[in-house]
Amino acid sequence: MRLIASYISGLIFGIGISISGMANPAKVLNFFDIAGTWDPSLIFVMGGALIVTFIGYRFVLRRPAPTFEASFKLPTRSDLDLPLIGGSALFGIGWGIAGFCPGGALPALGTGRSEVIIFTVALLAGIFAAKALQRLSASRAKAA
Amino acid sequence: MDTVFTPWQSLGGGILIGAASIFLMATLGRIMGATGILAGLLSPSSSADFGWRAAILLGMVSGPVVVMLTSGQMPEIQVPVSTTMLAIGGFIVGIGVTFGSGCTSGHGVCGMARLSPRSIAATVTFMVMTGITVYIVRHVLGA
């Protein structure tokens, strides 16, 4: 049942991303190109997703636990630090260069397009590199 | 490259993205974040942990296929950048989302909906940086 629920949420997400335009780099980049070929469509994606999630979470998180798990797994940190801001800034730069974000690219893999595969391989390489850096700095901190 | 303004389709897609986030929270109690799901898949803590992540990914990839089966065409993907830019951009995104602990789905939708200060700061930061980058690439460098 857990796997079926996971699959269904992934499927709904994938259909949503597909019809929203988030998997289309031309549309994503045009959303940010206010000084050029501006296409404001993506504000409707973010707006629709945010309003629905904001209201839905209120009801869901009022329950003592999710259906198939003992507890909700929610991030608890609230401090702002350099990795969060620096990492997010880097993400923005990469998104502005390539036009794909992870949530757009993963469903887009289903189209089998070579551009999506190239982006995703590079994305995975970046994740591996960053994780290696994090391990390195963690072991240095331990040694010091 | 011009694109057509699609407010209704985009709103519908956004509502589905929100619905998927609610459904995942209601059933497994998890944040619908592409970065977190993918990163956890690469180093899962157990086989059960691997299973739900793989199932979501499989569901995501099925999305465009279902769209094609129902509408008769694959979702439009127009790539106005070079292969080099895709690869460089992808690598930078990978580093950024790992250090930043999330991307558009995790921070931008789920975290913002929970009014998490970290997610709000992250979302404002990447939206501004993406805008600046697009401006520089298109209007300063003229790519």
Binary contact (A95, B93; C-beta < 8 A): yes
ipTM of the complex: 0.96
The verdict on residue B51 lying in a domain is yes
Q: Which of residues 64-103 of B touch A (CB under 8 A)?
A: 64-67, 74-81, 83, 85-101, 103
Band of the pLDDT at A96, cuts 50, 70, 90?
very high
**What does residue A105 show for φ and ψ, rounded to 5 degrees?**
-75, -40
What is the reported pTM? Answer: 0.95
B38 touches chain A (CB under 8 A): yes
Band of the pLDDT at B85, cuts 50, 70, 90?
very high
Task: Give the minimum alpha-carbon distance from B73 to chain A in angstroms, rounded to a whole number.
Answer: 10
d(CA B19, CA A20): 14
**pLDDT value of residue A144:** 72
The verdict on residue B1 lying in a domain is no
**pLDDT value of residue B143:** 67
B120 touches chain A (CB under 8 A): no
Per-residue pLDDT tens for A52-90?
999 999 999 999 999 999 999 999 999 999 999 999 999
CA B49 to chain centroid, in Å, comes to 21
d(CA B98, CA B96): 5
Per-residue pLDDT tens for A101-141?
999 999 999 999 999 999 999 999 999 999 999 999 888 88
Q: What does the mean pLDDT of chain B come to?
A: 95
Binary contact (A80, B117; C-beta < 8 A): yes
Residue type (1 letter), B125: T
The verdict on residue B125 lying in a domain is yes
Say which of A9, A93, A124 has its CB closest to residue B24. Answer: A9
How many structural domains comprise chain B?
1
- Domain boundaries defined on chain A: 2-143
d(CA A85, CA B128): 12
d(CA B20, CA B23): 5
Task: Give the minimum alpha-carbon distance from A139 to chain B in angstroms, rounded to a whole number.
Answer: 17
Task: Give the minimum alpha-carbon distance from A141 to chain B in angstroms, rounded to a whole number.
Answer: 17
What is the interface size between A and B, counted as CB pairs within 8 Å? 501
CA distances for A26 relative to A100, A121, B89, B112, B122, angstroms: 9, 20, 14, 25, 23
Q: Retrieve residue B60's tokens.
A: 């995501």
The verdict on residue B78 lying in a domain is yes
Say which of A33, A84, A123 has its CB closest to residue B118. Answer: A84
Binary contact (B15, A52; C-beta < 8 A): yes
Binary contact (B77, A115; C-beta < 8 A): yes
Provide the domain limits for residue B37.
7-140
Q: Does pLDDT of B91 surpass 90?
A: yes
Q: Does pLDDT of B96 surpass 80?
A: yes
Per-residue pLDDT tens for B27-75?
999 999 999 999 999 888 888 889 999 999 999 999 999 999 999 989 9
The verdict on residue B119 lying in a domain is yes
The verdict on residue B2 lying in a domain is no
Task: Give the minimum alpha-carbon distance from A112 to chain B in angstroms, rounded to a whole number.
Answer: 9
